[in-house]
Amino acid sequence: MQKLTGEERSYYIENFQIEDFFSFNIHPYIEICKFDKGEWIFKEGSFPDTLYYMMEGKAKLYMTHKNGKVSLIEYIEAPCFMGEIELLNEARYTKGIQTVTETICLSIATQGCKDMLLADAPFLRRLCVFLGEKASKMTSKYTQNQAYPLENRLAAFIQLSSDKGIYKEKHTEICEYLGVSYRHLLYVLAQFCEANILQKKKNGYHIMDEQRLMQLAQEIQ
Amino acid sequence: MQKLTGEERSYYIENFQIEDFFSFNIHPYIEICKFDKGEWIFKEGSFPDTLYYMMEGKAKLYMTHKNGKVSLIEYIEAPCFMGEIELLNEARYTKGIQTVTETICLSIATQGCKDMLLADAPFLRRLCVFLGEKASKMTSKYTQNQAYPLENRLAAFIQLSSDKGIYKEKHTEICEYLGVSYRHLLYVLAQFCEANILQKKKNGYHIMDEQRLMQLAQEIQ
DNA sequence: TTCAAAATATGAGATATCTCACATTATTGT
DNA sequence: ACAATAATGTGAGATATCTCATATTTTGAA
């Protein structure tokens, strides 16, 4: 993680009109951070003292279950808050977040201004809206996902998680994320290759038929 | 819907320490409401001017899809907010809520105090916590539900939605809620009857083997 | 480097669930 | 009261997905 300075920093701060988020002067507490692709923003179990607002990028949210298994819960995309639940609950239970692409975040060091944040109506209102949308989004995802076979969900997922036309995720993770068996995931990937939608190469599955993939993904709508 | 008065009203107001929710005097805006079983708290498409906090009871959240089909999204249980998304977004109710049991709610007439609510940090903070938990709950429901066959999910659902040992829901609704076909729902219900877990009678399916039902439901954990 | 663990891969049979077709009851508006 | 519509119920074959067994490859730590 790298803190931006100078022009780069100014660019993001000015472009996002950060002042609108708060009724007090937030500037002493903020930084603009750049995370490399694959870098961890939060590690599980750590004690978060930072609230992030992702401005650009994409990341994965992980959770470890009681039995020790790790599963990929959700892909998150800018703009969004990260670490907001921990701020609200004084809680320990942090989930892990790892970037998928290079990611730019506004970071707020909460140790100095937590009380101000939790007493700041403009900020809280925005957080409420964010959380409300998140809940709604989860709801519709949940309702719709049960209605479609893996073929469609996987197509949508490949679109979301691929980078430069290459899909390269751990099957063991993704089958949990998509709620299917490892065997079945492999089976459907093989189907995609069979249909020349994907092509399996050393460095991952290459998307050969963007059109058809989108079509399959959009059946979910 | 019936507004409580006198002792009943005082009982709920005192027991819930409503003052802690707000930093201003909320009393001019609140009522205690009792809804009968089966009554609608919100109808879809209506213009909301009330925020509810459910103190006792259980209700169903419905949504109408673009294609006109209605589906049962979620069972909600006290304590919880209702109408909070609409308060935040100035939107009309996109979802309908119907009680399952008699339900007691604190109602807040928002026309008089919306601005105060949206500027009231203690209230917003509580709302954030509620929404955060709702999002987390949806997440875990979503993750776990995909992992279990209908047998288990239906058992859990019957426990949630039955009243006095009798399960009586519209199959056409429930199959959508549980994300399975009508045919399959009927099939698994028949299995339950076969196994003497349920017994089909004129007024609904009677739960005969609470023990076994719980066992099936708990496999989801 | 080496070895154990994790991840990848594939086959084969079992099961959960779907689709469609059709018949039989409720429910509801007029 | 009646027709139209919605809800219920059932059969049969198709498909999506699972489980288990087992082999190979990759990865990470001693």
Q: Average pLDDT, whole number, for chain A?
A: 86
- Estimate in Å the CA B181 to C1' C20 gap, whole number: 12
Question: What pLDDT score does A93 carry?
Answer: 61
Phi, then psi, of B119 in degrees rounded to 5: -115, 10
Question: What pLDDT score does A143 carry?
Answer: 67
User: How does DSSP assign B113-128, residue by residue?
Assistant: THHHHHT-HHHHHHHH
DSSP letter for A18, please: G
Label residue B60 by pLDDT band (50, 70, 90). confident
pLDDT tens figures, A123-153: 999 999 999 888 877 777 676 666 688 999 9
Domain stops at, among B87, B122, B144: B144
Q: How far apart are CA B150 and CA B180, in angstroms?
A: 8
Residues A175 and A116 in one domain: no
Contacts of B63 in chain A (CB under 8 A): 143
Asked if B152 and B197 touch (Cβ cutoff 8 Å), the reply is: no
Residues A18 and A73 in one domain: yes
- pLDDT over 90 at A91, yes or no: no
Q: Quick one: what percent of chain A has pLDDT higher than 70? A: 90
Residues on A contacting B at a C-beta cutoff of 8 Å: 71, 73-74, 84-85, 88-89, 118-121, 124-125, 127-129, 131-132, 134-136, 138-139, 141-143, 145-147, 178-180
Residues B48 and B110 in one domain: yes
Half-sphere exposure of B20 (CA within 13 A, CB side): 6
Residues A123 and A162 in one domain: no
Residues A98 and A155 in one domain: no
Contacts of A136 in chain B (CB under 8 A): 85
Out of A41-55, B140-154, B182-196, which region has the weakest mean confidence (pLDDT)?
B140-154
pLDDT tens figures, A174-218: 998 888 899 999 999 999 999 999 999 988 999 999 999 999 987
Q: Quick one: what percent of chain B has pLDDT higher than 70? A: 90
Do B145 and A141 make contact, defined as CB atoms within 8 angstroms? no
Residues B140 and B154 in one domain: no
Residues A76 and A179 in one domain: no
Residue in chain B lying closest to A146 (CA) = B179
Q: Residue B9 belongs to a domain with what CATH number? A: 2.60.120.10
Q: How far apart are CA B181 and CA B189, in angstroms?
A: 13
Label residue A68 by pLDDT band (50, 70, 90). very low
Contacts of B184 in chain A (CB under 8 A): none
Sheet holding B40-42, edge to edge: B40-42, B95-99, B58-64, B70-77
Residues A92 and A182 in one domain: no
Domain range holding A171?
148-218
Residues B199 and B111 in one domain: no
pLDDT tens figures, A11-32: 998 888 888 899 999 999 999 9
Half-sphere exposure of B171 (CA within 13 A, CB side): 12
Question: What pLDDT score does A67 carry?
Answer: 43
Residues B93 and B160 in one domain: no
Residues A55 and A140 in one domain: yes
- Written as six digits, the tokens of B155 are 């058992």
Half-sphere exposure of A93 (CA within 13 A, CB side): 11
- How many domains would you assign to chain A? 2
Residues B131 and B45 in one domain: yes
Domain stops at, among A95, A117, A144: A144
Q: Residue A196 belongs to a domain with what CATH number? A: 1.10.10.10
Domain stops at, among B90, B123, B144: B144
Q: How far apart are CA A13 and CA A30, in angstroms?
A: 10
Question: What pLDDT score does B67 carry?
Answer: 45
pLDDT tens figures, B70-127: 567 788 888 999 999 888 887 666 788 888 778 999 999 998 899 999 999 999 999 9
